[in-house]
Amino acid sequence: MAERAGVGLQWPPGKTPPAVLCTCCGEPLAAGTDVCPRCNTDVRGGARSQKARASLFFGLVGLAVLPIIFSLPAIVLAVTARREIARTPGLHGSDAAGWGLATGIMGMVLGILLILTVVMGIAFPT
């Protein structure tokens, strides 16, 4: 088990290694621990929500390229990902879904402000 973590720890004879070791530093972890107390590495395994990743991707692209076009799918995907994560035990990605929702909302606000700026420039030329 210690070899799997990438660390060559030698356990004393007669003692069994802990069930979970940190994948970064090899620190033995207590049952149910999500973050290593030594190196602060997230050690949770398991499935990650693809909708949450997609929402973060669309949110970031929406901020950089075309705000309204990419931000709307980011918001929709983030909301559906958060619902999916809440319903499915062991599914990770709530942070990505939250950031996808935040970047999607920021992109929508940015897009609306850009449209208002163009409309105001056309309506009231100086």
pLDDT at 8: 55
- Between residues 119 and 38, the one the model is more confident about: 119
Contacts of 78 (CB under 8 A, 6+ apart): 51, 52, 55, 56, 59, 97, 98, 100, 101, 104
Q: Are residues 41 and 55 in the same domain?
A: no
Mean pLDDT of 94-99: 93
Q: Are residues 64 and 28 in the same domain?
A: no
pLDDT at 10: 64
Q: Are residues 10 and 56 in the same domain?
A: no
Measured from the Cβ of residue 101, the count of other Cβ atoms closer than 10 Å reads 22
What's the mean per-residue pLDDT of the chain? Answer: 83
For residue 10, the enclosing domain spans 1-45
Q: Are residues 111 and 58 in the same domain?
A: yes
pLDDT class for 114, splitting at 50, 70, 90? very high
Q: Are residues 54 and 99 in the same domain?
A: yes
